Structure 1
Amino acid sequence: MDITARLQDHQKWIREELERSVSFWLKNGMDPVNGGVYTCLDREGKIFSTDKSVWMQGRCAWTFAYLCHTYGVKEEWLAASKSCLDFMEKFCINREAGNRMYFTVTGDGKPLRQRRYCFSEGFYAIANAEYYGVTGEKVCLERARAAYDLIWNLNNGLIQDPTGMGPKTIPETRSGRALANPMIYLNITSVLRRVDPEQAELYNQRAAQCVDEIFRYHYKPELGCTLESVGPNGEFRGDVTEGRVVNPGHDIECSWFLMEDANLRGNKEQHATAVKIFDQAINAGWDKEYGGLLYFIDCLGRPPEAYEHDMKLWWPHDEILIASIMIYRDTGDEKYLEWFEKTLDYCKQYFSDPEYGDWFGYLRRDGKPTEPPCKGSTFKGPFHLPRMLIMCDVMIGQILGRN
């Protein structure tokens, strides 16, 4: 079968899988009583915990607005997005702590847990921005801009954290940098830059700083990896486990964030470096015995500390699919189409569940789901999978349009 026919087949499956995923979450996750979305769902979609993840409220709101952006507005999608936005506004913001957001709340919105990290605020920002892009509701843009600036100020030490939580480790003993901060902020920036051209100069400046931080401090070509955690000046801390951690899926996700930005700015050198990050991560992280991507590896081949290091999680495989088809679209190098198809085959065999819809979240190393299997959790909801399916559908369409 030639490449065009293969891509057409892939696109057909992707569109069908997107329909199954979206239907699964609309049917089983949305809360008609309190608003927002439940994400702790078993294989069939039954709720096994009514606590709500604030990350997932923002991610779900973004996903359904992005569906409207890509395919046209459907009232059911827009209502799902607004339900999550309204739930966050009413229950998920700690107004007494500088509008920092909670990490988890109860089903009816009572606060449960606050974390020092800014990811709840990040997903709140992209959700409001995307909803503004679809509806033009200015208040959503104002909320997105405010959250965007709050994260910047916290990440760069321009303000004290109003929660008073402080850093994770005692700074007099050890401080450092986390890859998640610049890479996630780069992705947040890409959404706001797309819907808010009035502030394009600001977004371009901050995106450039994020790229510089990733390359300057975390990308380690001499080690053949991109590190999750480094010293304040990018120092490699090889004497402690934390300093050797590589999350291949994170690096691959970072690679396509970098490529997306490089394409926007016409920066071929940045794009080429992002491809190298992908290559290093997938070659080091792909399980040569069972297939699939390992969750964590040690850059020096020493024992990883995380118990789940050799599990296979759904989201890193979504990131492989996005990044590989993006590189193939941009370069025409068939090696990356091969990675796309190899990963897609693995996902069809092990993650996809056409009987009930959506994907298993967590597999053992051999590809069998953890028991009892689940489709959602505090960390898994309608985000990585539908985002991948939407983006791959669009990119395959672009490739086919050139063929």
Structure 2
Amino acid sequence: MNTHLHVLEPYTNLCRIWNDEMLKTAQRRMIDIFTDRILDKKTNHLGLFFDEEWNVKSTAISYGHDIEASWLLFEAAEVLGDRRVLEEVKKVSLDIADAASEGLEADGSMIYEKDRDHTDKERHWWVQAEAIVGFMYAYRNSGDISCKEKAARIWNYIRNQIVDAEHGEWHWSRLPDGSVNHKDDKAGFWKCPYHNGRMCMEMIEHFNIR
């Protein structure tokens, strides 16, 4: 799923600047893979791993990937410019965002993931960043003020718990007990300003928030 998600995103950005029918066909196919293969239509969560025949090989639910996919899918359909596809994906996007809300905690944050007999309540930096964008897209597409309120509460959590006000950048995460994760990088192979930087640019461009 994650591999396909990060192929979908560059296809979307290439579509912005290159009006090519082969590219548009590839983008439609990628969207269809998400809606027809990766999305569990019963739960509106995304499967994480599959075999060569698209049989699901994982039972885990990744709330961060769900909420990230909700807006990246809508953006992909919006840039594609096919009205029929956009209307279908708009509903799917809202359904995925709603399902991802299951991962929200009382403090406003979003936990990492859940499996059959284990819930990982670590609050990863990237999950919080994607949740803000995802819920703001849901607010724009539904008019449901509760989506905007979810985004605002997550931003409040980020400012108070994830941003390192003393040394800069964002911590990797808060552990389930609320302590700062000092073991993982603040900048490294899996941690850079990608998610939080993109969040800021999305908020400025689409929601006029500076």
Which category describes the TM-score, using the shorter chain as reference length? 0.7 to 0.9
Relative to the length of structure 1, the TM-score reads: 0.48
| Partner Cα distance (2:74, 2:56) in 1 | 25
Which of residues 25, 30, 33 is equivalent to 1:205? 25
CA distance in 1, matches of 2:123, 2:105: 9
2:44–2:95 CA contact under 8 A, matched in 1? no
Q: Which structure would you say has the larger Rg?
A: 1
Identity of aligned residues (%): 21
Shift of 1:366: 3.3
The correspondence of residues 376-395 of structure 1 with structure 2, limited to 5 A, is 376-395=187-206
Structure 1 distance, partners of 2:109, 2:185, is: 19
* Residue 219 (structure 1) aligned with residue 36 (structure 2): no
* Residue 261 (1) aligns with residue 80 (2): no
Give yes or no for the alignment of 1:193 onto 2:15. yes
In structure 2, C-alpha distance between the alignment counterparts of 1:253 and 1:190, rounded to whole Å: 14
1:4-403 to 2 correspondence within 5 Å? 179-195=1-17, 197-198=18-19, 200-237=20-57, 243-264=58-79, 265=81, 266=83, 267-283=86-102, 285-288=103-106, 291-298=108-115, 301-303=116-118, 309-371=120-182, 374-397=185-208
Q: What SS does the corresponding residue of 1:234 show, helix, strand or coil?
A: coil
Q: 1:391 to 1:223 in 2, by over 3 A?
A: closer
What is the Cα deviation at residue 330 of structure 1?
3.0
TM-score, normalised to structure 2, is 0.87
Alpha carbons of 1:278 and 1:357: their partners in 2 closer, same or farther (altered >3 Å)?
A: same
1:369 Cα deviation after fit: 0.8
Letter of the 1:276 counterpart:
D
Gaps of 5+ in 2: none
CA shift for structure 1 position 396? 1.9
> In structure 2, how many angstroms separate the alpha carbons of the residues matched to 1:372 and 1:214?
34
Considering Cα pairs closer than 8 Å and 6+ residues apart, tell me whether 1 or 2 has the greater RCO. 1
CA distance in 2: counterparts of 1:258 and 1:245, whole angstroms: 21
Over the aligned positions, Cα root-mean-square deviation in angstroms equals 2.2
